[in-house]
Structure 1
Amino acid sequence: MARPVNRLLAHSLWDLIPVALGLAHFAFVLWLVAAFHDLSWWTYVPLALGYAISLSWSINSISHNQIHNAYFTPAWLNRAFDLLLSVTIGFSQTLYRDIHNRHHRGNSDLPGPDGKTIDPLSIYLRGKNGQPENPWAYTFLSFFRDDPKPIYNEMRRKRPKDVRWVQVEIYVTVAFYLLLAVYDWQAVLVLLPFWYLGQALSSLNGYYEHFGGNPDLPIAWGVSAYSPLYNLLWMNNGYHAEHHYRPKMHWTQVKAYHRQIARQQQEAGVKDIPLAHGLGFLLNHQKPDA
Structure 2
Amino acid sequence: MNAEVIRTERPTTNSRLFAHTRWDAVPALAGLFHLGYFVGLFFLYPHAPLWLMLILGFIYSLMVNANINGVGHNFIHNPFFRSKILNRIFGVTQSIACCFSQTMYDAVHMQHHKGNSDRQDENGDTIDWLSIYRHGHAGEAENLWSYVFLSFFRDDVGAIRKELRKRNNGDRFWGDLELTAFATILLIMAIIVPTNPIHFINWRFILFFLPFWYLGHCFSYLNGYYRHYGANPDKPVAWGVSSYGKSYHQARTHARFSGPRPAETR
TM-score by length of 1: 0.75
Whether the aligned pair in 1 keeps the contact of 2:74 and 2:242 (CA below 8 Å) is: no
User: Take 2:75 and 2:167, find their aligned partners in 1: how far apart are those partners?
Assistant: 22
Task: Give the aligned partner of residue 203 of structure 1.
Answer: 221
Task: Give the aligned partner of residue 164 of structure 1.
Answer: 173
Task: Give the aligned partner of residue 187 of structure 2.
Answer: 178
Task: Give the aligned partner of residue 13 of structure 1.
Answer: 22
CA RMSD of aligned residues (A): 2.2
CA apart distance, 1:5: 4.4
Task: Give the aligned partner of residue 210 of structure 2.
Answer: 192
1:137 and 2:146 matched: yes
Deviation string, structure 1 residues 46-100 (Cα, Å, up to 9, x no partner): 1111111111111110101101111111111100100000111111111110111
User: Take 1:129 and 1:76, find their aligned partners in 2: how far apart are those partners?
Assistant: 46
CA apart distance, 1:254: 4.7
Relative to total residues, which structure has the larger strand share, 1 or 2?
A: 2
User: Take 2:103 and 2:14, find their aligned partners in 1: how far apart are those partners?
Assistant: 24
User: Take 1:168 and 1:61, find their aligned partners in 2: how far apart are those partners?
Assistant: 23
CA apart distance, 1:155: 2.1
Task: Give the aligned partner of residue 64 of structure 2.
Answer: 55
Question: Which of residues 83, 104, 108 in structure 2 aligns to 1:95?
Answer: 104
1:155 and 2:164 matched: yes
Question: Which of residues 84, 87, 93 in structure 1 aligns to 2:93?
Answer: 84
Question: Which of residues 105, 116, 123 in structure 2 aligns to 1:107?
Answer: 116
Change (3 A) 1:122 1:21: same
Question: Which of residues 49, 56, 79 in structure 2 aligns to 1:40?
Answer: 49
Task: Give the aligned partner of residue 250 of structure 1.
Answer: 244
Whether the aligned pair in 1 keeps the contact of 2:95 and 2:102 (CA below 8 Å) is: yes
User: Take 2:29 and 2:113, find their aligned partners in 1: how far apart are those partners?
Assistant: 27
User: Take 1:38 and 1:157, find their aligned partners in 2: how far apart are those partners?
Assistant: 47
Q: Secondary structure at the match of 1:146?
A: coil
User: Take 1:158 and 1:81, find their aligned partners in 2: how far apart are those partners?
Assistant: 20
> Partner letter of residue 135 of structure 1?
L
> Partner letter of residue 132 of structure 1?
A
CA apart distance, 1:125: 0.8
User: Take 1:55 and 1:6, find their aligned partners in 2: how far apart are those partners?
Assistant: 29
User: Take 2:43 and 2:164, find their aligned partners in 1: how far apart are those partners?
Assistant: 37
Q: Secondary structure at the match of 2:46?
A: helix
Which is bigger in relative contact order (C-alpha 8 A, separation at least 6)?
2
User: Take 2:22 and 2:152, find their aligned partners in 1: how far apart are those partners?
Assistant: 35
Whether the aligned pair in 2 keeps the contact of 1:4 and 1:73 (CA below 8 Å) is: no
Whether the aligned pair in 1 keeps the contact of 2:242 and 2:249 (CA below 8 Å) is: no
Percentage of pairs with the same residue: 38
Deviation string, structure 1 residues 123-175 (Cα, Å, up to 9, x no partner): 01111122100100000011112213113113224426211111211112111
Whether the aligned pair in 1 keeps the contact of 2:114 and 2:127 (CA below 8 Å) is: yes
User: Take 2:129 and 2:38, find their aligned partners in 1: how far apart are those partners?
Assistant: 29
Relative to total residues, which structure has the larger helix share, 1 or 2?
A: 1
- Can you give the 5+ residue segments of structure 2 that lack an aligned partner in the other structure? 1-8, 194-201, 256-266
> Partner letter of residue 178 of structure 2?
E
Q: Secondary structure at the match of 1:37?
A: coil
Task: Give the aligned partner of residue 273 of structure 1.
Answer: none
User: Take 1:5 and 1:107, find their aligned partners in 2: how far apart are those partners?
Assistant: 35
User: Take 2:151 and 2:163, find their aligned partners in 1: how far apart are those partners?
Assistant: 21
